Amino acid sequence: MNCIEESLKIVLETLALFGIIGGLYYTSKQIRSSIIIHELTLDWNRRTYTEKMLRENSRSENRKKLENLFGVEDSLEKIPLNQIIEEIEKNNSTVKSDLAAVLNRCEVISRGIQYKIIDEDIIKEANSFYLIKIFLNYEEYINHIKSDFPKGLSNFSKLIAEWKRIGFFEMKKNYSRMKK
């Protein structure tokens, strides 16, 4: 009888071990599935947030006023720093606040891309021309700001530097010139 009890005990322990292993395997599959669903949900939320942000916060009126003021509506040329400072001194609060609004928006978008809150692919598709244009038009002013505040507009500058590094910046610049 002892032998039968021992055999039965071994069979039951083996079945319990298989049950535990099966449960752990099933649990690991569920965890992996949850991680994938979580990543997909985050990606979806990032993309919908980006689209919503682009629709609601375009603030193109500031950009258009500055483009008209400096005559760069269809231009990727740099605006000389002395011309920008001259206009700020003439129209003190208006030009400075418009510049701040435009450049801060670029910084917010760039920071959102850096922290993966905003989807870079959508920004590249929808707004990259304007980000590149703003950077080129106001590069001297951006550098002037950075000379006083080294961390000022750092995310925007990093984004443009990265786009330059991967060749996207030049591709967009050349494309905009071909459209003319």
Provide the token pair at 74: 């269809």
Q: Would you tell me how many other CB atoms lie within 10 Å of the CB of residue 42?
A: 12
Q: Is 121 found in the same domain as 39?
A: no
Cα–Cα dist 138/84, whole Å: 9
DSSP letter (8 states) at residue 58: -
Q: CB-side exposure of 101: number of CA atoms within 13 Å?
A: 16
Q: Is 64 found in the same domain as 49?
A: no
Q: Is 6 found in the same domain as 91?
A: no
Q: Is 141 found in the same domain as 73?
A: yes
- Cβ atoms 67, 73 nearer than 8 A: yes
- Cβ atoms 51, 122 nearer than 8 A: yes
Nearest C-alpha neighbor of 69 from the set 47, 86, 52, 46:
86
Cα–Cα dist 100/65, whole Å: 13
Cα–Cα dist 39/35, whole Å: 6
Q: Which of 56, 71, 93 is the last residue of a domain?
A: 56
Q: Is 49 found in the same domain as 65?
A: no
| Chain centroid, CA 156 distance in Å | 10
**Full residue range of the structural domain in which residue 23 is found:** 1-56
Q: Is 160 found in the same domain as 98?
A: yes
Q: What is the pTM of this model?
A: 0.73
Q: Which of 11, 34, 56 is the last residue of a domain?
A: 56
Q: Which of 38, 56, 74 is the last residue of a domain?
A: 56
| Token pair 């750092």 in the structure block, residue | 154
Domains: count for the chain: 2
pLDDT string in tens for the chain (180-residue length): 688 888 888 888 998 999 999 999 999 999 999 999 988 888 888 888 888 877 776 557 888 889 998 999 888 899 999 999 999 988 767 899 999 999 999 999 999 999 989 999 999 888 888 899 999 999 999 999 999 988 889 999 999 999 988 887 676 666 555 454
